[in-house]
């Protein structure tokens, strides 16, 4: 049962344009969402996060939007740069308890064309 | 501040053997989590340790185990290796302090190949 889904395995965008990566979830008990970027042969790098009590969080070129009613999360990258080409994972944390367990989506490969 | 380190980076083992992977978290981080990444899959949660105690475990067989030491360093062990255990094993550490979010910071991973 995939609780966090990234339905687009890949996305291609022109340099300077906006990249929009999407993520859907099924568990209403998630209270925190995160985006990670991963290059080959490296561990994931934390990008940006959002609490379930917010609907938007911005950090430089990266903005995450959360639509709780639709159980949908998106990451906007503006403007996209060739160095943004990587696999992007969304992740979610189940509320409550002391656990720090994150549930990850399967990733979207972003290719930014020069 | 140094990041999360994992050793070894690459490992080749044969079926039936056992393996131990090591992780040193960011200084001051007391929570260490382990994940498995296989081709086409996202990251699958293995287990989390905090203050030397396992406080959550994923859906993996008992062949997968771990522990954490008093200095927060962690090891994971896989016994009786199977071909399907070939994967990238990632360790992540986090501060776990109220109000600071739940960001986890990953190491570079250990690439395990089982032949």
Say if residues B46 and B90 touch (Cβ distance below 8 Å): no
Which residue's structure tokens are 């990670």?
A36
Q: Report the CATH number at residue A106.
A: 2.60.40.10
Nearest to A111 by CA among A9, A10, A7: A10
**Phi, psi dihedrals of residue A84, rounded to the nearest 5°:** -80, -10
Please report residues of B whose CB lies closer than 8 A to that of A105.
42
3-state secondary structure B58-98: CCCCCCEEEEECCCCCEEEEECCCCHHHCEEEEEEEECCCC
What total of structural domains would you count in chain A? 1
pLDDT digits (tens, 9 = 90+) for A32-84: 999 999 998 889 999 999 999 999 999 999 999 999 999 999 999 999 999 99
Q: B42–A107: do the CB atoms touch at under 8 Å?
A: yes
Instruction: Give pLDDT, residue A97.
Output: 66
Answer whether A49 sits within 8 Å of B109, measured CB to CB. no
Share of chain A above pLDDT 90, in %: 82
Alpha carbons A101 and B58: distance in angstroms, whole number: 9
- Report CA-CA distances (Å) from B20 to A2, B27, B72, B105, B107: 29, 22, 16, 21, 16
Q: Is the pLDDT of residue A98 over 70?
A: no
Give dist(CA A72, CA A23) in Å, integer: 6
pLDDT at A94: 79
The residue among B32, B35, B104 whose CA lies nearest residue B73 is B32
Q: Which domain holds residue A88?
A: 4-113
Which residues does chain B have within 8 Å of residue A4's beta carbon, measured at their own beta carbons?
A: 42
DSSP B26: P
Residues sharing a CB contact under 8 Å with residue B6, sequence separation 6 or more, in sequence order: A43, B21, B22, B23, B24, B89, B90, B91, B107, B108, B109, B110
Q: State the Cα–Cα distance between residues B115 and B113, nearest whole angstrom.
A: 6
**Segments of chain B scoring below 50 in pLDDT:** none
Name the 3-class secondary structure at A83. helix
The pLDDT score that the predictor gives to residue A47 is 96
Angle at B3 between CA A75 and CA B17, to 5 degrees: 100
Whether B43 sits inside 8 A of A44 (CB atoms) is yes
Is B99's Cβ below 8 Å from some Cβ in A? Answer: no
CB contact under 8 A, B102 and A32: yes
């Amino acid at each position: 049962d995939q609780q966090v889904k990234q339905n687009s395995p890949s996305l291609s965008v022109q340099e300077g344009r906006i990249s929009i990566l999407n993520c859907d979830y099924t568990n209403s008990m998630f209270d925190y969402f995160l985006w990670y970027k991963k290059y080959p042969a490296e561990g994931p790098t934390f990008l940006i996060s959002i609490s379930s009590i917010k609907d938007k969080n911005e950090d430089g070129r990266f903005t995450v939007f959360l639509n709780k009613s639709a159980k949908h999360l998106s990451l906007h990258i503006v403007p996209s740069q060739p160095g943004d080409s990587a696999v992007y994972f969304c992740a979610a944390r189940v509320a409550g308890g002391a656990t720090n367990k994150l549930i990850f989506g399967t990733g979207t490969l972003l290719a930014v064309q020069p | 501040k140094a990041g999360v380190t994992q050793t070894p980076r690459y490992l080749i083992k044969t079926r039936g053997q056992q393996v131990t992977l090591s992780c040193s978290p960011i200084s001051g981080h007391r929570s260490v989590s382990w994940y498995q990444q296989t081709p086409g899959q996202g990251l699958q949660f293995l287990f989390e340790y905090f203050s030397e105690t396992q406080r959550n475990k994923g859906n993996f067989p008992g062949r997968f185990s771990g522990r954490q030491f008093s200095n927060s360093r962690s090891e994971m062990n896989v016994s009786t290796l199977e071909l399907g255990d070939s994967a990238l094993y990632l360790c992540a550490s986090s501060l776990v302090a109220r109000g600071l979010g739940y960001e986890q910071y990953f190491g570079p991973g250990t690439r395990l190949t089982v032949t």
